[in-house]
Amino acid sequence: MRPEALRLNPPEPFALQMKGIFGSGVVDSVRPVGLPRALMCAHIPRASGDPAGVPPAGGAWRVVRVGVGLTVALLGLGLHAATLGFGDGVNLQPSYFNAGQVDFGWKLMRAQPRIQTVRVEIEPSIPIGTAKRWLTEAQAQGYGVIATYHHARFNGSDSVEELLNAAKWWRANYGALRETGPLTINLMNEWGSHKQRPQSFADAYNQAIKLVREVYDGPIVVDIPGWAQETHVAREAATLIEDTNIIFSVHIYASGWVEYGPRHWMTTADLDALEASGRPVLVGEFGGRRKGRADWSALVDHARAKGWTLLAWAWNGDGEGMNMVRPTWSEKPQATRFSPSSYFRQVYSKLREPKRK
């Protein structure tokens, strides 16, 4: 059989089994298009209520030859990032304090069972050896790691050159960072202003993702535009971004504003629009101490009900008072002992208890 697309109903319903950074799983001859090669499928009974013979998320099935066997691939499969193995967790922003030579307070963090994943923000000016230390320590604690290129000067920038600089940084440094253990790339923190439109956003990311793919074939976290708030742009851009192995990331604060389409403070309907993109979604940041009229708490609850991974902002390193521990690195960058701050409970309470194995 030739590898071009062939539409048909699935031979049997199936569920994803994970390998590699997503945990152990079964290697079989079935995998979804656009997801990591490590993600394989095994045949299991269909969940009750699923319509027989209808691909999830309206995807079309395709048969392609792999060696002497066949691979059945699903197009347009919409999965939540939680389904892909990311537990809830916290953000860490160490780059701007004591040249990154800070203590993370791992002992206190390990006492918080709802923290399963850490998103580590890496400023490109930081020596790669320092970033490797951060990731090595996180890996040693058993956390899932999302590593983010974070060039503070260009948060909200529409410069394609800067997005490509981020991609080139990953091309140059992923190999060294991967030595610390499995990690997921968040290509760039909050690239794109509220002026981005679906085509411009997709065009920029198509260029950037191709560079990253020279060294990395796992899922790429893509912050949606407008400081990660423009959900409708992302929804429409999803089909324009050529690489389907992406995870959209939305950032939720009271300041959340959606310019494209409804032009209003972010609402739960805007999160529904992002879900309709058919791509996995996570809440890459959320916090409760910014001014604005978006109901950040209700938005996070809505995302939680959808099964989206929630990453609280921030364990330490924030400059606006949203630090879950004290002392903050800005107050005492060489601190080695920490305790929960008054802000801690406000965001930690939103995280889910991990499922018992």
Span 126-167, pLDDT tens digits: 999 999 999 999 999 999 999 999 999 999 999 999 999 999
Give me the pLDDT at residue 82, please.
56
| CA-closest candidate to residue 98, choices 313, 350, 335, 346 | 335
What is the homologous superfamily of the domain 89-348 according to CATH? Glycosidases (3.20.20.80)
The pLDDT, as a whole number, for residue 81 is: 59
What is the pLDDT, as a whole number, of residue 99?
A: 97
- Tell me which residues of the chain have a pLDDT lower than 70: 1-83, 357
Residue holding tokens 């939540």?
80
Q: Determine how many CB atoms are found less than 10 A away from the CB of residue 80.
A: 18
Q: What is the pLDDT of residue 122?
A: 98
CA pseudo-torsion sign 42, 43, 45, 50: positive
Q: Which ranges in the chain are annotated with CATH 3.20.20.80? A: 89-348
* pTM of this structure: 0.81
Q: What is the pLDDT of residue 85?
A: 79
**Residue 6 DSSP one-character state:** -
CA gyration radius for the chain? 20
